[in-house]
Amino acid sequence: MTPPRFAPIPAGLPATVPFIGPETLQRRRGRPFAARLGANENGFGPSPRAVAAMRAAIAGIWQYGDSTSFDLLQALSAHLSVPAGALVVGEGIDGLLGLLVRLMVAPGDAVVTSEGAYPTFNYHVAGFGGVLHKVPYRDDAEDPAALIARAHEVGARLLYLANPDNPMGSWHEGRVIEAMLADLPPGCLLVLDEAYAEFAPAGAVPRIAADDSRVIRMRTFSKAYGMAGARIGYAIGHPELIAGFERIRNHFGVNRVAQAGALAALADGDWLAQVQGHVAAARNRIAGIATGNGMAALPSATNFVAVDTGRDGGFARRLVAALEEDGIFIRMPGVAPLDRCIRISCGPEPELDLLARTLPQVLRRL
């Protein structure tokens, strides 16, 4: 029997999984991880208020969520001092990136990003027939000047930049991002991924008007707010651009439990401050573990630390695999020369204690 025929664009694509999830890895190894330090999740958990709000909302799960996320949009508007019309809520940054690419990129359109930057964005571009153009990192950070130059060369429709950056944890001052806007080629939109903004120094967050038509900013409740499993994020952009999402978005894609949790999390500034403190302490602990094992932690403005192994990508891959065998889940960048590093998420002290005990043993075996 002949299987169904795919449409031309997906028919020409390989089956791609941007990240192999820890659950898949656990099934392969036949047992759970003792330390889950690879997915940049917030192991310190969500606000207790958010947990209570989500628990209370469960009884109403038989109802579809508010398709407009009205209450959350109003709260975000007040929290950010941004008009509600400049905001859209979606299924995490990943979902919003997919919608943005669908909205802005036609088959053959040029899109610029960095070699080794967030692969899920690339996955969406390929899925809608865009053509990716990549520039290398410079000094373990995305290179704004090179990105702008390539955008001019290829007539890019979108230019993607994460600030702070994943997978290296590096960041640029806000004024650098502001200067990029002035240099964008005509018709190019800067996609500014700010998933880790709550962990960044104040100076790393650019001062950009919400209605600036040259940029769209992506934020999430997955990281600092500890709600990765709820799949909820938002974007800030020019009202006409934001209105475009209404043409293509999944209007009931954000469930009511996630909306309730995000609303409560946003109101709990004390918990956010506690998490930020825990993350800062964990970054220092990871840096100490790295140094004690002859490696170097790179400066980070995120909830993870990139650790330079001082060796090559082959060694780093063996190290990741060996730690996985011993029950510790971490990840690493996938492109040289970044792949000389491993990437360790900030987590609770017991998990970092296990890392501290296990890493020297694994290094001796290797």
Domain count, the chain: 2
Task: Mark which of 203, 232, 267 sits at the end of a domain.
Answer: 267
Residue 171 lies in a domain: yes
Name the band, by pLDDT with cuts 50, 70 and 90, for residue 1.
Answer: confident
User: So what's the pLDDT on residue 2?
Assistant: 84
Q: How many Cα neighbours within 13 Å face the side chain of 121?
A: 23
201: its two tokens? 């120094």
CB 169 within 8 A of CB 299: yes
User: So what's the pLDDT on residue 229?
Assistant: 97
Residue 70 lies in a domain: yes
Residue 40 lies in a domain: yes
Whether residues 310 and 342 fall in one domain = yes
Which residue segment(s) compose the domain that 26 sits in? 20-45+270-365
Task: Evaluate if residue 118 carries a pLDDT over 90.
Answer: yes
Name the band, by pLDDT with cuts 50, 70 and 90, for residue 231.
Answer: very high
Whether residues 243 and 150 fall in one domain = yes
What average pLDDT does the segment 262-284 reach?
A: 98
In this predicted structure, which of 7-21, 179-193, 226-240, 280-294 has the lowest mean pLDDT? 7-21
Whether residues 195 and 164 fall in one domain = yes
Whether residues 70 and 185 fall in one domain = yes
Whether residues 152 and 224 fall in one domain = yes
In this predicted structure, which of 8-22, 93-107, 249-263, 279-293 has the lowest mean pLDDT? 8-22
Task: Evaluate if residue 17 carries a pLDDT over 90.
Answer: no
Task: Evaluate if residue 181 carries a pLDDT over 90.
Answer: yes
Provide the CATH number for the domain around residue 296: 3.90.1150.10
95: its two tokens? 């979902």
In this predicted structure, which of 8-12, 232-236, 295-299 has the lowest mean pLDDT? 8-12
Task: Mark which of 267, 291, 306 sits at the end of a domain.
Answer: 267
Residue 331 lies in a domain: yes
Provide the CATH number for the domain around residue 139: 3.40.640.10
Whether residues 258 and 280 fall in one domain = no
User: So what's the pLDDT on residue 319?
Assistant: 98
Q: For residue range 131-140, list pLDDT tens digits in order.
A: 999 999 999 9
Q: For residue range 20-62, list pLDDT tens digits in order.
A: 999 999 999 999 999 999 999 999 999 999 999 999 999 999 9
Cα–Cα distances in angstroms (integers) from residue 47 to residues 91, 229, 268, in the given order: 20, 14, 7
Whether residues 92 and 202 fall in one domain = yes
Whether residues 153 and 32 fall in one domain = no
Whether residues 328 and 212 fall in one domain = no
User: So what's the pLDDT on residue 166?
Assistant: 97
CA–CA gap between residue 182 and residue 184 (Å, rounded): 6
281: its two tokens? 């302490």
Taking all residues of the chain, what is their mean pLDDT, rounded to a whole number? 97
Task: Mark which of 267, 286, 316 sits at the end of a domain.
Answer: 267
Whether residues 106 and 169 fall in one domain = yes
Q: For residue range 185-201, list pLDDT tens digits in order.
A: 999 999 999 999 999 99
Whether residues 146 and 239 fall in one domain = yes
Name the band, by pLDDT with cuts 50, 70 and 90, for residue 74.
Answer: very high
Residue 6 lies in a domain: no
Whether residues 119 and 30 fall in one domain = no
CA–CA gap between residue 263 and residue 266 (Å, rounded): 5
CA–CA gap between residue 343 and residue 320 (Å, rounded): 9
Q: For residue range 278-291, list pLDDT tens digits in order.
A: 999 999 999 999 99
